[in-house]
Structure 1
């Protein structure tokens, strides 16, 4: 079961600890996934500081980060690692632009499938995820956490969480359950966006597109696994060959993030 961290002004904030792996249990207070930190309350900032968050990784695009900069967590170091040069996940896209793309025949679902392939195929994305794993390797003190996030904590963050859990040899069913849990924690936000769109006279096509963009779907994450298998044979080989991580570095990550 995922470990939610309840905050006042941030959603989908979860400790990845507690999951059972082949050779242990993922450590608590070591790595946290999250949605945007741009609206953290003072209470939230203090809570994350007390939780031991020392490094914050931002996967968002430059425009997303500029429009909604992270609130600072005291005693933490910030890393800006945009997975893409712009918001390919479409979470921050304007309704007008989304509708235009949908009317041109580009379904939201097909766009998201492309995004999840890009995590594997895009060179810029690979650089970001390699640096992500390097930062995790440096987190060698007990009860100190690396927090990583994007806008919704769903796609770029969801893939990052799946990548780490796969390296730690957590089973695929558990990894997928962690990924899909986002739908529960973003349900209120999604319903708000849908209601607002309807109030503004959005078409059924646009409303359906918003729902597709805001959901975590097994087909999306499985596309990353499929692309990794096509190009590298497996997600683990993507880590080795695509990201240039050695077998020893993988073992070091397992040692740091697993406990018996």
Structure 2
């Protein structure tokens, strides 16, 4: 009986994962120099509205975009880029952008590049990602994401915006979660969008090379490192829980840390929902 239940559970998980990827594939923007470039729109809200597609995009690093990618970038009318990487990350791999693109670096909490030794130490601390999404990252959330939402409020009607970090999964994942949350997208949908990064980044050879290098330095197997680095629903839940515990609600967080109150949230919904 236990075996039957376990098999059913595994099959159900596979179905959910396949549905998630099938859904997110509708939002993927094919790029030669990026692996996790996606439209944040197209999701339904709890009250039956839809996040407008083609207005807000999320991505991993965009320092290797090709000329064809830049043409796609322009076709998407992306006029503003919010870079959530740290100062040193951005210096090491500057964004490749079409001329005239409005660029803003928001490095709060990521000012220094971790060394290989730092990464090994973090990997041996099984809770480092959980802490980064929770209490460890909480002091930086307001400063990091405030410029993004100010830009969203002031974005011209015909323009689109992109936000990204290096992998497009953690800092970008939290930003996307806040954007969808404030618009009223259900939690389970937010989590599916968040987890889709696992699928897309698995195709990135740089990530695979990083896992191999960390395995050699740490003595941990590549498989165990992948498992520890994999995005899980409890990470984004911890992100929201940490905010709720400190501020009482997501709305209070927006008000206190970003100066975005009910009026501004109404404007965001007006601009990005249909």
Relative to the length of structure 1, the TM-score reads 0.87
| 1:24 Cα deviation after fit | 1.3
| Residue equivalent to 2:228 | 212
Does 2:134 correspond to 1:117? yes
Distance 1:27 1:57, change over 3 A: same
SS in 2 for 1:114: helix
Asked if 1:13 corresponds to 2:37, the answer is: yes
The structural deviation recorded for 1:235 is 2.0
Match of 1:26, SS state, is coil
Give 1:85 shift. Answer: 4.0
Aligned residue pair count: 247
Report the secondary structure of 1:39's partner residue: coil
CA-based RMSD of the aligned residues comes to 2.2
- Residue from 4, 27, 30 that aligns with 2:52: 27
Q: Which has the higher contact order (CA 8 A, sep 6+)?
A: 1
Report the counterpart of residue 255 of structure 2 in structure 1: 240
Question: Using the alignment, how far apart are the partners of 1:120 and 1:169 within structure 2?
Answer: 24
- Bigger Rg, which one: 2
Displacement, 1:73? 2.3
CA drift at 1:220: 1.2
Shift of 1:112: 1.1
CA distance in 2, matches of 1:150, 1:249: 25
| Cα distance in 2 for residues equivalent to 1:68 and 1:238 | 32
Instruction: Report the counterpart of residue 39 of structure 1 in structure 2.
Output: 64
Q: How far 1:58 moved relative to its partner?
A: 0.3
Displacement of 1:188 in angstroms is 2.1
Residue in structure 2 matched with residue 131 of structure 1 by the alignment: 147
Name which of 170, 178, 185 aligns with 1:155. Answer: 170
Deviations 1:90-121 (A, max 9, x none): xx64433322444xx522xx111121125862
TM-score of the aligned structures, taking structure 2 as reference length: 0.82
